[in-house]
Structure 1
Amino acid sequence: MPTPLELELEVDAATSSPRRLSLHPDRALPADGRQRAVAREIYGQTAELPLICMHGHVEAEVFAANQPFADPAQLLVVPDHYVTRMLVSQGIDPASLGVPRVDGGPVETDSRAIWRTFCRNWRLFRGTPSRYWMEHELAEVFGVDLVPSAETADAIYDQIEARIAEPGFRPLQLLDRFSIELISTTDSATSGLEHHAQLAGEGYGERIIPTFRPDAAVHLDRRGWRAEVAALAEVSGEDTSSYEGFLGALRERRRAFVEAGGLATDHGHLTADTTPMDRGAAARLYARALAGGQVSEQEAQAFAAHMLFVNAEMSCQDGLVMQIHPGVLRDHHRGTFERHGQDKGFDIPVAAEFTRSLRPVLERFGHDPRFRAILFTVDETVYSRELAPLAGAYPSLRLGAPWWFLDSPEGMRRFRETATETAGFYNTSGFVDDTRAFASIPARHDLFRRIDAGYLARLVLEHRLSLEEAVETAVDLAYTLPKTAYSRRSA
């Protein structure tokens, strides 16, 4: 039975008519009038720049199939863990939001019902970046001019459903509509990359590229690790029954990703530890784990740290840029993980440490022109203390954009204020979105460009930058830096 919160109507009390959705042209720009005027001018020079999306999670299969999106709920609600986690936090069952169950058990299949639940609870998103992204999507992408509510849910659903049925709203066509110049998918080490091969044959090989993510193969204590190693052997053609064969299989898969146009790797470890193991000790531990022997949590973490070091070494050989983003305890609620699987909104940040953890890999490769690593964090306490000083010293490092829970207006502002004075602008990666919600990509880039415009406007008014310098910097942050940060190194 619906709760009072779910039944709340977002309706004007005086007229009982639905409230209209309207995007203010100065949204997210500074409140101060003088600063806002300068920010508006800076933002105007970046608003229409192409998008470089190098940390994406839209599946390659979506582009290869290029089918119409199923419906508004399946496009905007079900796959977006930012949206579902907020609803779940208010006691709404993930199954009632259509989130699939691991065991194939029953979940809500009526997308209109899912959409109504979302619209009834629109007020939950006040003050969140999800509100900004969703309003941008509704107004700019789908032409909706109604505020979501129980009263307007069906009308909005019908309008979006009609729009996504148009030929111009298929995934490949949206690349042009969204002005996406380059987008990267994130693919496991065992991916056969067949969808990328198809896309390359259709002329998209340099526009939709894979990113190599070996996490499932390097964590010995992860469920399904032995099956992952077996799949790695099958797809690579290498014998993974030995540690040396395992390394050979990873090298072969990395080579396949490079041939498919890949520019980067992606590593989501719990910690940033890069301490290498003795090669013999690593081989013995690998053999014990593969034989089904007991592996302690400490041993598994040591092997994962060792494999970060090994992957850095491999990056010097093949030129792939490393993306490292530690500090997230995955699947915090075991029950949700058991029922619905990974990436369902229960990945929770923990304190991160980089200075000591990265020292082994930086002592070895930090000044090697063949090596490039981009560091992301959800622990903003390390921006000024560790990450900015590291990126401001080592030529191999770049500081990644505010990521995940920090991909928000205030998080972006704090990032600029805490990192820029030490790292500068040009030791950062510029903005790269991190989303499975395809339709939100333009909104995310737009928000970052507005926040950067506001920060740069303050530097202009404080006479620390000229307007010309501020505009040039804004363009670099939005477009030039992501391209140069992710360019393949000379191996």
Structure 2
Amino acid sequence: MKNFMDEKFLLSSKTAQHLYDNYAKDMPIIDYHCHLSPKEIYENKSYKTIADIWLDGDHYKWRLMRANGIEEKYITGDASPYEKFLAWAKTVPKIIGNPVYTWTHLELQRYFNIYVALNEDSADEIWESVNSQLNREGFGVRKLIEASNVKVICTTDDPVDSLEYHQQLKESNFETAVLPSFRPDKGLELNRDTFKDWIGMLEESADIEINNYEDFLAALDARAHYFHEVGGRVSDHALDEVLYEEASLEEVSKIFARAKSGIKISRSEEAKYKTYTLNFLGKIYSKLGWVMQYHISALRNNNSRMFDKLGPDTGFDSMNDGQIAEPLTKLLNSLEKDDALPKTVLYSLNPKDNPVLASITGSFQGGGIAGKIQFGTAWWFNDTKEGMLSQMKTLADMGLLSQFIGMLTDSRSFLSYTRHEYFRRILCDLLAGWVENGEVPNDDDLLKPMIQNISYKNAEHYLGFNKKAENLTIS
């Protein structure tokens, strides 16, 4: 029997331990999709208590606390930080089997050298120990990033953002590259009440008066090029529902004008607008040499009462179960037929789509680019042990696991880099199992580069971070 979360946990054989300890453990990290604040990184934000760094904004934990019967006062309400931490400590023993149980203890171990299990009895000791470490002079989020050996962070940024903190970080002595990712979702959701106001902000940021749809496209193009100047090499889209319907520029221009004036548009018109706009954006990304990401099949803000009270991203989202294969392939093909399909990463929040996405990637590979179209890592509700295994096995069944660009955090927490360790242990155990079963040679010359590539080097190469460029400080 192994000790609780010792150096061998998740590694079921000596082969797995060897692969992890020698080839995965010390690889750097590229976090190519996250929701960290560049302002907080620039200002080297510090935290007074473990509740501040652990529970504020963490909807993973909030969902689990609600499921454990914790009152909202102790989750997002006005309870003290200690009371919220104690409520979480009471919840942790009840979440055995959930990846957050593992992440919780990995974070305590790796960042604070605490190896006892968190529960109501150990809560006070852990509270005091972590808080004393957080309050050391000079201890801020940059120390946590450096301790995790993170080389690149790609934040998630609206096209209207000034990127001032990315610029200042670029000019600072902070060695980790903090780069913006272009996320124009608000410009695609033209039925939302925020659309008209967002167009006004886009006008200001791009310094382009937006009187019509072509002005709008010109403003998006200008902002994408600005992101590129600052170091951006990645875009991202939340395609909660994948729509595809072809239309002319004239037709889409009329749809845009109606939406800009506050008129709600039909589902068919929405599909036409999104299809044309996504095609336009994809061509920009292709010209810039960017990676395009599609995050698919989230069903957001399901609980209207709590949405009205707390707003979005507070733990009331779920998987969607719509059909994606036909509209997604048509969307990708609309770019491919013009030889303008950029490198693309496809994620679905619903694991039923795993074989669909894995098979779609094989239809659009080419151009001499290894793994040009990626079946992205297990995301959100799927970044569990079984979710990661399912994603990697499906990729291996239908494509090239060896070209996989690996893990990301998709997190708002500066402690979440331990998820890369979680992923790497699972990867090494999977490969070791194939070795132990005689399915793969026990050959370090074969396995070492594969593990190191999936852990770090594939992402470095795919995203272009292995090149010296005018506006990129990664070597």
Q: Same fold (TM over 0.5)?
A: yes
Deviation at 1:418, TM superposition (A): 2.0
Equivalent in the alignment of 1:458 = 433
> Using a 3 Å threshold, how does the CA distance of structure 1 residues 459 and 356 change in structure 2: closer, same or farther?
same
Query: Secondary structure of the residue that 1:308 maps to in structure 2?
Result: helix
Q: Decide which moves more: 245-254 or 366-375.
A: 366-375
Equivalent in the alignment of 2:410 = 434
Q: Does 1:404 align with 2:386?
A: no
Does structure 2 retain, via aligned residues, the 8 Å contact 1:460–1:470?
no
1:251 is matched with which residue: 213, 221, 231? 221
Query: Where do residues 384-403 of structure 1 align in structure 2 (5 Å cutoff)?
Result: 384=355, 386-395=356-365, 396-403=372-379
Does structure 2 retain, via aligned residues, the 8 Å contact 1:413–1:451?
yes
1:178 is matched with which residue: 148, 162, 175? 148
Normalising by structure 1, report the TM-score.
Answer: 0.88
| Deviations 1:39-88 (CA, angstroms, capped at 9, x unpaired) | 11111111011011001111111101113124211211122111111112
Equivalent in the alignment of 1:145 = 115
> Using a 3 Å threshold, how does the CA distance of structure 1 residues 228 and 70 change in structure 2: closer, same or farther?
farther
Equivalent-residue separation in structure 1 for 2:34 and 2:244 (angstroms): 25
| Deviations 1:83-128 (CA, angstroms, capped at 9, x unpaired) | 111112234343432x3xxxxxxx3151111111111122232111
Deviation at 1:205, TM superposition (A): 8.3
Equivalent in the alignment of 1:383 = 354
Query: Secondary structure of the residue that 1:438 maps to in structure 2?
Result: coil
Normalising by structure 2, report the TM-score.
Answer: 0.90
Equivalent-residue separation in structure 2 for 1:203 and 1:275 (angstroms): 48
Deviation at 1:158, TM superposition (A): 1.4
Equivalent-residue separation in structure 2 for 1:275 and 1:476 (angstroms): 38
Equivalent-residue separation in structure 1 for 2:11 and 2:381 (angstroms): 20
Does structure 2 retain, via aligned residues, the 8 Å contact 1:53–1:432?
yes
Does structure 2 retain, via aligned residues, the 8 Å contact 1:168–1:174?
no
| Deviations 1:386-416 (CA, angstroms, capped at 9, x unpaired) | 2112223322411111111110111111122
Amino acid aligned to 2:437: E
Equivalent in the alignment of 2:32 = 54
Query: Secondary structure of the residue that 1:325 maps to in structure 2?
Result: strand
Equivalent in the alignment of 1:13 = none
Query: Secondary structure of the residue that 1:186 maps to in structure 2?
Result: coil
Equivalent in the alignment of 2:9 = 27
1:227 is matched with which residue: 188, 191, 197? 197
Query: Secondary structure of the residue that 1:61 maps to in structure 2?
Result: helix
Equivalent-residue separation in structure 1 for 2:385 and 2:8 (angstroms): 14
> Using a 3 Å threshold, how does the CA distance of structure 1 residues 306 and 334 change in structure 2: closer, same or farther?
farther
Query: Where do residues 83-482 of structure 1 align in structure 2 (5 Å cutoff)?
Result: 83-97=61-75, 99=76, 107-167=77-137, 169-204=139-174, 207-366=177-336, 368=339, 371-384=342-355, 386-395=356-365, 396-441=372-417, 443-466=418-441, 467-468=443-444, 469-482=446-459
Q: Decide which moves more: 425-434 or 318-327.
A: 425-434
Amino acid aligned to 2:64: M
Deviation at 1:257, TM superposition (A): 0.9
Equivalent-residue separation in structure 1 for 2:254 and 2:176 (angstroms): 41
Equivalent-residue separation in structure 1 for 2:34 and 2:242 (angstroms): 21
Deviation at 1:210, TM superposition (A): 0.7
Does structure 2 retain, via aligned residues, the 8 Å contact 1:333–1:346?
yes
Equivalent in the alignment of 1:43 = 20
Deviation at 1:275, TM superposition (A): 4.0
Does structure 2 retain, via aligned residues, the 8 Å contact 1:187–1:211?
yes
Provide the aligned length of Structure 1 versus Structure 2. 455
Q: Decide which moves more: 309-318 or 53-62.
A: 309-318
Query: Secondary structure of the residue that 1:182 maps to in structure 2?
Result: strand
Deviation at 1:293, TM superposition (A): 1.5
> Using a 3 Å threshold, how does the CA distance of structure 1 residues 114 and 191 change in structure 2: closer, same or farther?
same
RMSD: 2.2
Structure 1 unaligned runs (5+)?
1-20, 31-35, 100-106
Amino acid aligned to 2:210: T
